[in-house]
């Protein structure tokens, strides 16, 4: 806290310029984002979690047998159907 109080504070044009994500450094806190950012984030989390469910199966592949294999094939089929649905609805298009 002492460094914040006693440290130099010299804002200039370079410090206040837009940085790599393209947004201004000091804007209104209620700046509106395009809904596609949220959609991409939700889809990423959804498919990332689904892939995370495959790791325990891959580790115990020898013990699960044919029943476990069939369950994972059904799970992957549901993933493919969900992905195809998102693609058909245009959720993956950025236009």
Identify whether 59 is part of a domain: yes
pLDDT of residue 51: 83
* Residue carrying structure tokens 């130099």: 8
First to last CA, the chain: 46
Residue 81 confidence (pLDDT): 93
Number of domains in the chain: 1
Give me the CATH number covering residue 68: 1.20.58.1610
Domain that holds residue 25: 2-89
Query: Does 30 map to a domain?
Result: yes
Mean per-residue pLDDT, 68-88:
89
In this predicted structure, the answer to whether residue 74 has a pLDDT above a threshold of 90 is yes
For residue 5, pLDDT beyond 80: yes
Contact 50, 79 (CB under 8 A): yes
pLDDT digits (tens, 9 = 90+) for 9-64: 888 877 777 666 666 555 566 667 677 788 888 888 988 888 888 888 888 888 88
- The model carries a pTM of 0.53
Task: Report how far residue 89's alpha carbon sits from residue 36's, in angstroms, rounded to the nearest whole number.
Answer: 13
Residue 95 maps to a domain: no
What ranges make up the beta strands (E) of 1-95? none
Residue 94, in any domain of the structure? no
Q: For residues 58 and 64, what is the distance between their CA atoms, to the nearest angstrom?
A: 10
């Amino acid at each position: 806290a002492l460094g914040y109080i006693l440290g130099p504070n010299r804002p200039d044009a370079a410090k206040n310029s837009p940085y790599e994500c393209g947004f201004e450094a000091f804007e209104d806190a209620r700046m509106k984002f395009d809904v596609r950012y949220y959609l991409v984030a939700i889809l990423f989390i959804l498919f990332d979690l689904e892939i995370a469910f495959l790791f325990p199966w891959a580790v115990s592949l020898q013990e699960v047998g044919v029943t476990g294999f069939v369950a994972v094939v059904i799970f992957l089929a549901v993933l493919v159907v969900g992905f195809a649905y998102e693609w058909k609805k245009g959720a993956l298009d950025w236009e």
